[in-house]
Amino acid sequence: QLQLVERGGGSVQPGGSLRLSCSSSVTTLEYYDIGWFREAPGPDRQGLGCITNKGGSPHYENDVKSRVTISRDNAKNTVYLQIDGLKFEDTGRYYCAAVSEPVSIVHDRCFMAPRDGTWGPGTMVTVSS
């Protein structure tokens, strides 16, 4: 069972930046593509982007691609989400999840298909002046 934990949320002024982290103390993340999501007004969480198991060619969703950077450090068993130019509407809870089955081969594309049971509890981001 994949157990992910997000950290790094907090309160920030508009225009500021945050770097969120996604890690696990019980699972080796380097076998998984990892995606970042945030809560949205509807029933589904909004996808932000994903990164493949070895870190090549992150994919970003169009709504945020100019302000978001996803990276990973497999030596630290951690995946990161950097958000720049924060806006009021970025306020919300941010989540990571596995978007692939465990796989060891290098591949160059991840897909925003979160696997059930791999969601972390999320970390809250509040943008306020």
Query: Looking at the predicted structure, is the pLDDT value of residue 1 above 80?
Result: no
Q: What is the pLDDT of residue 42?
A: 78
Residue that the structure tokens 């996604």 belong to: 22
**CA 6 – CA 24 distance, rounded (Å):** 9
**CA 121 – CA 73 distance, rounded (Å):** 21
Residue that the structure tokens 């919300």 belong to: 92
Q: Tens digit of pLDDT for each residue in 70-125? A: 999 999 999 999 999 999 999 999 999 999 999 888 888 999 999 998 999 999 99
Q: Tens digit of pLDDT for each residue in 13-26? A: 999 999 999 999 98
Q: Tens digit of pLDDT for each residue in 27-82? A: 999 999 999 999 987 788 999 999 999 988 899 998 889 999 999 999 999 999 99
Query: Looking at the predicted structure, is the pLDDT value of residue 8 above 90?
Result: yes
Q: Give me the half-sphere count of Cα atoms (radius 13 Å) on the Cβ side of residue 121.
A: 5
Q: What is the pLDDT of residue 12?
A: 97
Side-by-side strand order, sheet with 18-23: 5-7, 18-23, 78-83, 68-73
**CA 79 – CA 69 distance, rounded (Å):** 11
**DSSP class per residue in 21-44:** EEE-SSS-GGGS-EEEEE--SSSS
